[in-house]
Amino acid sequence: MKTQRDTVPNQVFIGCPWRIILPKYEAVLPELRKKYPISFVIVGRGDRQDAKDLLDYIKQSLLASSYAVFDATGGNANVSLEYGFAEGRAIDLALYACTHAATKNAAGKEAIISDLAGKSRNHYKQKEELERLLSHLCVDHSYTKRFERFLRNEFRRASKGEKKSARALALKIIHALDKRPERRRDDLVQEILAAGYSGVEINKMLTSLHRAKLINCSVGKYSVVTIT
């Protein structure tokens, strides 16, 4: 049974071994970011907390996520711990595993971990297969479905070029909120202006996304923007 949590509707947590597996995800996520409004969060390398603070941060990130992916390659104990926490909090999740022989050997002999034993896994061998798995996840995600419905309805009479431009701008705005619970509207607008869009285009898209309930723009001098 689902428990009530304050989540970021488009956030997906990824838990994976850092040394061998993490680079595989880092290689495919930038391409997915160009196509889908999903914000992937990986906690670990580069996060300069001590062990306890890092664990707390991982838990916070999981609780704020609408979905979680755990890569069980090598039977990593940390991944197992994160999986157990997510399962206990009724977070929707999927289990992945790399079947490439060289990767499995580098990751070490896979241990039998009780949390993951007998669980169904999505297997991949090459980068392209991992990207395909994550693409399917993005397409099936409820936030992506809402986003695609918004684009169809809002720009149904637009030309092909206008639709492509609108999608790119909408994605840029949504991804400007990645890993941020909220952001000042003025700061967000300045970032998008630097990418070559006009203020009129940006504010019109912000209004449209707000009306479609994909984001929320508060009113007032210190307006903030959040994913909804």
More confident residue, 55 or 228: 228
> Would you state the pLDDT for residue 116?
72
> Would you state the pLDDT for residue 8?
98
Q: What is the mean pLDDT of residues 30-47?
A: 90
39-84 confidence digits (pLDDT tens) = 999 997 565 567 778 889 999 999 999 999 999 998 888 999 999 9
Other CB atoms within 10 A of residue 31 CB: 12
Q: What is the mean pLDDT of residues 6-34?
A: 96
Cα–Cα dist 78/96, whole Å: 15
> Would you state the pLDDT for residue 52?
77
> Would you state the pLDDT for residue 102?
67
- What lies within 8 Å, CB to CB, of 9 at 6+ separation is 66, 142, 143, 227, 228
189-202 confidence digits (pLDDT tens) = 999 999 999 999 99
Residue listed under structure tokens 């896994």: 121
User: Is residue 113 over pLDDT 70?
Assistant: no
Q: What is the DSSP string of 166-217?
A: HHHHHHHHHHTTTT-S-EEHHHHHHHHHTTT--HHHHHHHHHHHHHTTSEEE
The full set of domain ranges for the chain reads 8-140, 158-227
> Would you state the pLDDT for residue 100?
87
Helices (H), 17-121: 22-35, 51-63, 77-88, 101-107
User: Is residue 96 over pLDDT 60?
Assistant: yes
143-182 confidence digits (pLDDT tens) = 999 999 999 999 999 999 999 999 999 999 999 999 998 9
User: Is residue 111 over pLDDT 90?
Assistant: no
21 pLDDT band, cuts 50/70/90, is very high
pTM of the model: 0.91
User: Is residue 3 over pLDDT 50?
Assistant: no
User: Is residue 112 over pLDDT 70?
Assistant: no
Fold of 8-140: Rossmann fold (3.40.50)
Q: What is residue 224's three-state secondary structure?
A: strand
Closest CA to 66 of 141, 151, 170: 141
Fold of 158-227: Arc Repressor Mutant, subunit A (1.10.10)
Two tokens, residue 88: 């206990």
Cα–Cα dist 125/36, whole Å: 23
CA angle 114, 43, 228 (to 5 degrees): 105
- Percentage above 90 pLDDT, the chain: 79
